[in-house]
Structure 1
Amino acid sequence: MNTDKSTEALAFGIRRRVFEHSIRNNGGYLSQACSAAEQLAWLYNEQLRLGAPTLPPVPLPFAGVPAPGNHAYRTGAGYHGPAEPSLDRLFIAPAHYALVAYAALIEVGRLAPEALDQFNQDGSSVEMIGAEHSPGMEVHNGTLGIGLSTGAGLAWGRRRKGETGAVWVFMSDGEVQEGQTWEAVQSCVHHGIDNLYAIMDVNAQQCDGAMSAVMDVGDLKAKFVSFGAVAVEIDGHDLAAMRVAAQTPHPGRPLIILARTCPYQGMPSLKSRFPRLHYVRFKSEDERESMRRAIAAELGLNAEPASSQPGRQETSPATTAAKGD
């Protein structure tokens, strides 16, 4: 779905929305917006072939889990359009990027801005840690290394059915700390699955700090190649590099784009939080105001205070669902 906005403008809009939401609610996944904005803007605005959304712009309340007789149950995949054979499919593997993904859906017109008013509210489908019923989500991957496997399974099934649409997985680098990611690559190579593409936000951060300190993962490109994938390493803020990387030939193998990024791109004030950048919460009103003014200036926004909800603070994110950024 191509909008009338440039992809660069969409990436800026994603960062702006996440920043404003985080300031209003005294916490948010700011570093993920910094690192992943270009990747998600590029996917939605240029790369993916998606149909028109089949779900309402303002999400319906959570309808409950799948169960006999629960005819209201739905996944959030409808915001990517219908699952037609010729259209692409996208899995957002790191569920803690949900706020950034919602911002991307809003920027490309697939979700209403009012949807963020439901974020992390009881009874809402706009979950803080995205679930299968959340906008843009189809399955619940956590950040537990199962996203690439999910994509591989669907890609294999689509190929057997003769479907021409590609399967894309947006990943975070923390997922390579899980063995299932590597099993998925081996399975793809064994079965010749080449309709699977992944772009990984390699921002070298995870919930406990810098990945190099928690569990260093070494040379990712060399590892993916050794497991049989075709891997391309790029600057994850360079849209031209993404366009070229996506055209890399990979017959019989999955294509993995390793997008190296900065977790404070566009918001350099966040560097003062390094290496604890996974989830940014402000410890006082003074700190929130200071950070608001600094980042607003860095983004080129009006420095006047936005409407805020000082009494509200987001629930602390579940670390078990957020291994890596």
Structure 2
Amino acid sequence: MFEGKKNKPVSWQDEVYKAANKIRELVMEHTIKNKGGYISQACSSAEIFATLYLRIMNLEKLDKPLIPGRFQGTPGQGKDRISGSIYNGAKGPFYDRFILSPTHYSLVLYAALIAAGRMDPDGLLEFNKDGSVVEMIGAEHSPGMEVMTGSLGQGISQGAGIALARKLKGETGRVVLFMSDGECQSGQFWEAVQAASFHKLDNMLFYVDVNGYQCDGKMEDVMNIEPFDKRLESFGARVFRVDGHDVEALSALGNLKPDGRPTFILCDTDATRGIDILKKRGSKMHYVRFVSEDEREEYRLAFEKIKSSDAL
């Protein structure tokens, strides 16, 4: 806790909520400017990302926010190769490793890196430009990422492989994954959960954004996976279910003592949190693409109103 304006104490909770609001603000502002973007993902996951970066993950501190370079080829042994993991610091044996599984959340991750002071705000100006590493669908060279998770459901398999290797090497750092509920419909996801449980990968920590939506509509209409927590438990995982916008609940479960099982934190969230105008889209809110300048202006006015009231 430190002193804020007018000597008013500012708690860590205040700082995390402030970062979450910054994430939503950056994503919505970017979406309006670029005529499209993943707003609902920021609405539902902002507190999760903010809590991960400011309270949960053990990452190396950076001297200053990094400015994205230009694409120089996929990561490798050569010194010219860029790896997005540099935004999370060194890969020491006691540091956590972060994996973004649903790469359509990349814009949200970039905003989180800015809010956490790990990426320079100007880095977002490189988003989706030719030759830029700040890609719309992030890859292993994109800020905050060290692997290309490809099709949904593949991130957990790569994470499990890294976690097993860390176990065999005696490293104490964890593998922390952010996942979305939609990708958990895939068979590969459940195979990976089974494998992680069998190999007792208790160095794996999952935060799952359970916002109830996917690109084709509501989860319950496309392929219902509830009761999600009970299904995971039947595969041998340790599972907790919390309000995904409650930073105290999110933080409290971030450093539990390992018990031989991979740990899943299921975060029930609101896909329109802080940005009510999204509710007009019904179940089709996976990606916001404005159909006219009038609609874009409607969102701009809503954004200005939200900013002025500090309601994000």
Please indicate, yes or no, whether the TM-score normalized by the shorter chain is above 0.5: yes
- Displacement after TM superposition at 1:204 (Å): 1.1
Q: Which range is displaced more, 290-299 or 203-212?
A: 290-299
Contact persistence 1:53–1:82 (CA under 8 A): no
2:147 counterpart SS class: coil
SS of 1:141's partner is coil
Match of 1:252 among 257, 260, 272: 260
Residue number in structure 2 paired with 1:314? none
Which residue of the partner structure matches residue 234 of structure 2? 226
Identity %: 47
Equivalent in the alignment of 1:37: 46
Q: CA deviation at 1:249?
A: 5.1
Aligned residues: 300
Matched, 1:95 2:103: yes
The whole-number CA distance in structure 1 between the counterparts of 2:56 and 2:140 is 23
The corresponding residue for 2:176 is 168
- Aligned counterparts of 2:187 and 2:180: Cα–Cα separation in 1: 14
Secondary structure of the corresponding residue to residue 232 of structure 2: helix
Choose which of 278, 293, 311 in structure 2 pairs with 1:270.
278
- Residue 298 of structure 1: aligned partner: 306
Deviation string 1:240-299 (CA, Å, 9 cap, x unpaired) is 111233355551100000001010000011000121111101111111111221233234
User: Equivalent residue of 1:6, what SS?
Assistant: helix
- Residue matched to 1:27: 36
Amino acid at match of 1:144: L
TM-score (norm 2): 0.91
Unaligned runs of 5+ in 1: 303-325
Asked if residue 187 in structure 1 is aligned to residue 195 in structure 2, the reply is: yes
Asked if structure 1 preserves the Cα contact closer than 8 Å seen for 2:75 and 2:140, the reply is no
| 1:54-84 Cα shifts (integer Å, max 9, x gaps) | 997211111123579x642222001000100
Residue equivalent to 2:139 = 131
C-alpha contact 1:18 1:103 (8 A) present in aligned 2: yes
Q: CA deviation at 1:177?
A: 1.1
Partner of residue 57, structure 1: 66
Please, which moves more after superposition, 131-140 or 175-184? 175-184
Q: TM-score, normalised by structure 1?
A: 0.87
Aligned residue for 1:259, secondary structure, equals strand
2: CA distance between counterparts of 1:35 and 1:10?
14
How many Å separate the matches in 2 of 1:55 and 1:243? 25
Give, in whole Å, the separation in 2 of the partners of 1:85 and 1:249: 18
Deviations 1:182-237 (A, max 9, x none): 11111122111101000000111111121122222221001000000011111100
8 Å contact 2:13–2:247 — kept in the other structure?
Answer: no
Residues 266 and 299 in structure 1, CA contact (< 8 A), matched pair in contact too: no
Cα distance change of structure 1 residues 235 and 26 upon mapping to structure 2, 3 Å threshold: same
SS at match of 1:91: strand
Match in the other structure for 1:280: 288
- Distance in 2, matches of 1:111 and 1:244, equals 26
Taking only aligned residues, the RMSD between alpha carbons, in angstroms, comes to 2.1
**SS, match of residue 201 in structure 1:** strand
Taking the aligned partners of 1:129 and 1:243, their CA distance within structure 2 comes to: 28
Partners of 2:63 and 2:222 lie apart in 1 by 41
Letter of the aligned partner of 1:34 in structure 2? C
> Judging changes above 3 Å, is the alpha-carbon distance between structure 1 residues 55 and 190 closer, same or farther for their aligned structure 2 residues?
farther
- Structure 1 residue matching 2:242: 3-state secondary structure: strand
Residue matched to 2:4: none
Q: What secondary structure is seen at the aligned counterpart in 2 of 1:138?
A: coil
Partner residue of 1:109 out of 111, 117, 136: 117
